[in-house]
Amino acid sequence: MDTATRSRAVGPAFRPATAADVPAVVQLVESAYRGDASRAGWTTEADLLEGRRTDPDGVLAVVEHEASRLLVAELDGEPVACCHVEHRGDHAYFGMFAVRPTAQGGGLGKTVLAEAERLAHVEWGAAEMHMTVIRQRDELIAWYERRGYRRTGRMSPFPYGDERFGIPQRDDLEFELLVKKLA
């Protein structure tokens, strides 16, 4: 069994991101959601948004926030996925979830999501996980629903005019709150 196959069989190693990880995390998030490279995976938002998905200052703020954990998943010491989990009292918020496009579709995302849920419930005592997803992302929402998340119908506006979140390619974008009870 080669090293890559053995690492996938064992699964990723998780660790909290540090300031030194910021460039790699920005690159990972951008590659999963923006531009032509993102089309190698199924999580691309390239048809909905252009521009950036995040930036070094935003990632560093998450790394340094005391109620947050930015998890990095590594295979053979190389970052292949990440997610942000923030403790918000009785619930946790899940975001900045990215899996390298060429590593998508093999179960890595499920593993990362499960680790985020474990952290929120076991380490912080959170009863629920919350996230917001662009409501037009039907395939992504269905993926979360298969993992126990439910649509709430509670919408929040997309921040049009704030290019830190991308440049919208349509005028009807909004976020829907998804929630899962953690056991």
Inter-helix orientation angle 56-64/22-33, to 10°: 120
For residue 138, the SS3 value is: helix
Q: What is the pLDDT of residues 156-180, one digit of tens each?
A: 999 999 888 889 999 999 999 999 9
For residues 112 and 125, the answer to whether their CB atoms sit within 8 Å is: no
Q: What is the pLDDT of residues 2-21, one digit of tens each?
A: 334 444 457 899 999 999 99
Q: What is the mean pLDDT of residues 58-67?
A: 97
Q: What is the pTM of this model?
A: 0.91
**pLDDT value, residue 9:** 58
More confident: 42 or 126: 126
116: pLDDT strictly greater than 60? yes
Rounded Cα distance, 173 and 22, in Å: 28
